[in-house]
Amino acid sequence: MVRVSRRTFLKASALAGVASSLPLMVNFNDFARAAQEAPITKIPTMCNGCSSTCGKYVYIKNGRVWKVEGNPINLKSSGKLCARAHGMAADVYGLGRVTQPMKRIGEMEFEPISWAQAFEEIGNKLYEIINEHGGNSVMWLGHGGKEHYASTFLDEIGSANYVTHYATCFSSKTNVWDRMVGTMLNSDFDNANYMLFVGRNFAGGIIPGVMNRITKAKERGAKVVVVDPRYCELAIIADEWIPIRPGTDLALFLGIAHTLISEKIYDRSFVTNYVYGFDEFWSANKDFTAEKAAEITGIPAEKIREIAREMAANAPKAFLDTGYHGLHAHYANSTQIAMMNVVVNALLGNMFQVGGLMPSAGITLGHVETPQREIPEKGPRADGAGVDDEYPTVEPSRGIPQIVPDLIKKGRIKALFIYHYNPLRTAPDPEYQKGLKEADLVVSIPVDWNETSLYTADYILPESYYLERTEPPKVISGFIAHAYPQIAVRRQAIKPIHNTLPLLDILKGITAAAGYYNLYPFTVEEEIKASVKPLNIAPELLMETGCLEFPASVQPGFPMKDGKPALNTFTGKVEFSIGAFKLYGRQGVATWVPPLVMPNGEDEFRLIHGKQPWHSHHFTCNNPYLMAISDKYNGTWLWMNKTRAEKLGIKNGDLVTISSEKATKEIRVKITELLHPDCVWIPSAYGGFSEKLKTAYQEGINYNDFIPARVEPLSGSVMGQEVIVKVRKGGNS
């Protein structure tokens, strides 16, 4: 059988799309002329190619999506869109979508049912479970977003179990910044003179608006330094790329801090006035010199001191970027890494300073007034997040998603709702995650036939694609320091092409069938109207523009009240020592904590991973246009350091076998000098095993196959790079 290349497939698909839309008995030239002359409608909305939700315009022609472009007002897009945004716009017509409600009738077998039948059966089962086991036996497990819909449902039934995917992404960051600073600060790219990015690849997990700001800063003379085991996409435009031994970012930060303090080049005024716990921190780390950091990281001591000195010379217009997935979910020391991120920036005195770290402007939206309801008392969280004798310092608002199969096995969870999340592919150990199916009721609310739906769901209730639904406005925030608050709205661009519903209507149907009548007594249009009411603007204005900007609400300067520091912390200051950690017998300040595992043998490597500019998680891998890019650049291949590969007799393009205690897989290998020798690297998006997603099926491998479902006890993260793999030449057979 000849396998058709994706390039040929795309051409054929395009021709087939035209042919299938032709009416019978029509001249092709007449059709082409009519299609070309058809009017075009331009509709503002927000992208869903990843979680950044950039602003975009969608052009509709002949009732179909014609093209998309970035909204120039929106901070995240700044008039540009990445490959994911363009490719995923076409996925509204993709072949991997769930087109109507489905009910499991066997092992990976489903039958289509009506929405009425789905609501009735799910509602009845939910009622029985709550009646027998209580509302706290129900869990909402999601990627994040639509919290107000989920919390309304969980509050009504008395469940504390709202769980997000964030432990696989950035829980260490939010946990620490909330405790040490009381808020989140973001990099002021527009005004900085020195930018240090460690484990942060804005050109891979791309946000167009951020990259636009970074490149403009570089053009005006700002220095860009990237520290990463891999020569990532952001390193391409950097003034300097510094490879680091993976798992040792904490040592680098400690070495920088030691240099700043010991050489007395830190901002002593800022520390004296606005920092609590400095003496405790320094007492614990006064022996952690740049030389000690060099031994651990592999970065020369003089280079570590150079970074510290250059940052101090440019402060407060210098920052260590606060990072995201690349810093805050990977290691046993990720919580301490997040703590040191706060410490280094505070030592530079750059917090609430132009060119350093500033808050993102916010604005308060209104909400629909609903009748007050009697809310039952909630039990303890099933995952133990925030529970004294389990995981007391883990944020209850985020939860611990990777251990849900254990919670089901223990009988804590009986009904599971999985929204816009695919833990069988994006959480550790998919065979273990298949235990989700043991719950008495599993309802998946996806767009596509993802692995979790196929293997575990009793019912699949497809949500309308993001271009097919309208949603309430949201405040634009995160990653970018900006003084001017913005709000944006997702507006329906086309009518649903399948028998799908937006989440609000799905929850209305389920809750009413379970006996919780009129739990959502509003429409999305009423939500939009209520949201903008406090802003004194007409909802029509927001719907027409898609994004609105308001007068500046952020000014530089440390927050003060009655002449005293007024952060939302216990002391009102930046707290180098976390009291809650000490309360539960942990070290209050960050000190050196080694990685959980280290490679030793000649064939052993730490397995690390990261994003590519054309993929987001696993969600985008069934898109043939984006996978064509993967084909062009051998995007699924494993990266290996050239020197290490030569010792193992491995050449570029060879098939290799990679194995850990959890899995053994085969993959082609890219040999490069642009990777630290201690590790091998794979992109995080691939490894699909849902047969119904044919484009993604068995393309590449996924790091989650190789790691166990561990829990870092302070923040609950998955420790996604605490795994050693062996690599050998040749296949497994």
Q: Which domain holds residue 338?
A: 185-358
Query: Quick one: 282 and 299 in the same domain?
Result: yes
What is d(CA 731, CA 665) in angstroms, rounded to the nearest whole number? 8
Residue 429 lies in a domain: yes
Identify the pLDDT of residue 617: 80
Identify the pLDDT of residue 3: 36
Identify the pLDDT of residue 10: 37
Identify the pLDDT of residue 479: 86
Distance set, CA 509 to CA 88, 328, 374, 501, 515 (Å): 28, 38, 21, 10, 10
Residue 584 lies in a domain: no
The count of other CB atoms within 10 Å of the CB of residue 406 is 16
Q: How many residues does the chain have?
A: 733
Query: Quick one: 542 and 625 in the same domain?
Result: no
Residue 470 lies in a domain: yes
Query: Quick one: 457 and 498 in the same domain?
Result: yes
Q: Which residues, 6 or more positions from 264, have their beta carbon under 8 angstroms from its beta carbon? A: none
Q: Are 413 and 407 in contact (CB under 8 A)?
A: yes
CA angle 717, 721, 722 (to 5 degrees): 85
What is d(CA 612, CA 625) in angstroms, rounded to the nearest whole number? 14
What is d(CA 566, CA 357) in angstroms, rounded to the nearest whole number? 17
Q: Report the SS3 class of residue 646.
A: helix
Q: How far is CA 7 from the centre of its chain?
A: 30
Identify the pLDDT of residue 169: 87
HSE on the CB side for 209, CA within 13 Å?
Answer: 24
Q: Which residues, 6 or more positions from 249, have their beta carbon under 8 angstroms from its beta carbon? A: 198, 199, 227, 327, 337
What is d(CA 485, CA 669) in angstroms, rounded to the nearest whole number? 46
Query: Quick one: 423 and 502 in the same domain?
Result: yes
Q: What's the N-to-C CA distance of the chain in angstroms?
A: 22
- Strand (E) or helix (H) holding 79: none
What is d(CA 666, CA 672) in angstroms, rounded to the nearest whole number? 19
For residue 678, the domain's CATH number is 2.40.40.20
Query: Quick one: 489 and 378 in the same domain?
Result: yes
Total tally of structural domains belonging to the chain: 4
Query: Quick one: 257 and 387 in the same domain?
Result: no
For residue 451, the domain's CATH number is 3.40.50.740
What is d(CA 342, CA 320) in angstroms, rounded to the nearest whole number? 9
Distance set, CA 321 to CA 327, 433, 480 (Å): 10, 33, 11
Q: Which residues of the chain have pLDDT under 70?
A: 1-28, 30-32, 34-35, 733
What is d(CA 506, CA 521) in angstroms, rounded to the nearest whole number? 13
Residue 387 lies in a domain: yes
pLDDT, tens digit, 9 for 90 and up, residues 673-699: 999 999 999 999 999 999 999 999 999
Supply the DSSP symbol for 535: G
What is d(CA 708, CA 319) in angstroms, rounded to the nearest whole number? 34
Query: Quick one: 145 and 260 in the same domain?
Result: no
Where is the domain boundary, 358, 379, 407? 358
State the Cα torsion 125-128-133-135 to the nearest 10°: 70
- Strand (E) or helix (H) holding 504: helix 503-513
Residue 522 lies in a domain: yes
Helices (H), 329-486: 334-347, 404-409, 423-426, 430-433, 451-456
Query: Quick one: 197 and 137 in the same domain?
Result: no
Query: Quick one: 344 and 439 in the same domain?
Result: no
The count of other CB atoms within 10 Å of the CB of residue 310 is 16
What is d(CA 623, CA 625) in angstroms, rounded to the nearest whole number? 6
| The pairing of beta strand 471-475 with beta strand 486-490 | antiparallel
pLDDT, tens digit, 9 for 90 and up, residues 39-86: 999 999 999 988 889 999 999 999 999 999 999 999 999 999 999 999
Q: What residue has token string 């009425």?
A: 116
Where is the domain boundary, 318, 335, 358? 358
Query: Quick one: 460 and 542 in the same domain?
Result: yes
Q: Are 400 and 391 in contact (CB under 8 A)?
A: yes
Beta strands in 48-160 (DSSP E): 55-61, 64-70, 102-106, 109-112, 138-142
Identify the pLDDT of residue 2: 33
What is d(CA 74, CA 208) in angstroms, rounded to the nearest whole number? 10
| The pairing of beta strand 275-276 with beta strand 574-575 | parallel
Taking the model in full, what pTM does it have?
A: 0.93
What is d(CA 399, CA 508) in angstroms, rounded to the nearest whole number? 25
Query: Quick one: 543 and 502 in the same domain?
Result: yes
Identify the pLDDT of residue 4: 35
Residue 638 lies in a domain: yes
Where is the domain boundary, 312, 328, 358? 358
Residue 376 lies in a domain: yes
Q: Which residues, 6 or more positions from 165, have their beta carbon under 8 angstroms from its beta carbon? A: 142, 143, 144, 401, 421, 423, 426, 427
For residue 231, the domain's CATH number is 3.40.228.10
The count of other CB atoms within 10 Å of the CB of residue 551 is 9
HSE on the CB side for 262, CA within 13 Å?
Answer: 16
Distance set, CA 663 to CA 320, 321, 428, 526, 728 (Å): 36, 34, 12, 50, 14
Sequential DSSP letters for 185-201 = -EE-TTT-SEEEEES--
Q: Are 681 and 721 in contact (CB under 8 A)?
A: no
Considering only CA atoms, which of 662, 710, 122 is closest in space to residue 439? Answer: 122
* Phi, psi dihedral angles at 552 (to 5 degrees): -55, 135
Query: Quick one: 491 and 374 in the same domain?
Result: yes
